[in-house]
Amino acid sequence: MESCHLQRHGWRLGKMSFFLTWIKAIFITALAFPHYSETGFEPSPEIRRLPKCDVYVHQLHFCTREMDPVCATNGQTYSNTCVFCSELFESGGAFDFSHYGRC
């Protein structure tokens, strides 16, 4: 009678151990997934927003020295959005935004 009682609990412990192993595996996967798939959440270059040049209308060439390159349709790389927009306004719209990054 006693051995039957122990077998029943042993079976439950084995089942519980299996369940806990799966919970641990799921938890570790959930923690690791965002770390390895971070680039999947970055918007593609086609979706990235165009520069908002209206912000710089009243402060042409009062730009920071921050390097965040912007490529224009004239083949010129501008150091950041402020410099790009300042040159765009001064040129009278002779070129347009191509993409972020160096040309």
What are the phi and psi torsion angles at 54 (to 5°)? Answer: -60, -20
Q: Which residues is 77 bridged to in the sheet?
A: 71
Half-sphere exposure of 96 (CA within 13 A, CB side): 2
Which range of residues forms the domain containing residue 60? 53-100
Q: Are residues 30 and 69 in the same domain?
A: no
Q: What is the pLDDT of residue 90?
A: 94
Q: What is the average pLDDT across 88-101?
A: 94
Q: Could you read off the pLDDT of 37-85 as tens digits, one per residue?
A: 555 555 555 556 789 999 998 888 899 999 999 999 999 999 999 999 9
Q: pLDDT at residue 8 above 70? A: no
Q: What is the pLDDT of residue 38?
A: 54
Q: Is 24 part of a structural domain of the chain? A: yes
The model carries a pTM of: 0.55
**Which CATH number does the domain housing residue 85 bear?**
3.30.60.30
Q: Is 75 part of a structural domain of the chain? A: yes
Q: What is the pLDDT of residue 45?
A: 56
Q: Is 28 part of a structural domain of the chain? A: yes
Total domains, the chain: 2
Q: How far is CA 59 from CA 36, 63, 72, 89, in A?
A: 41, 8, 20, 11
Q: Is 47 part of a structural domain of the chain? A: no
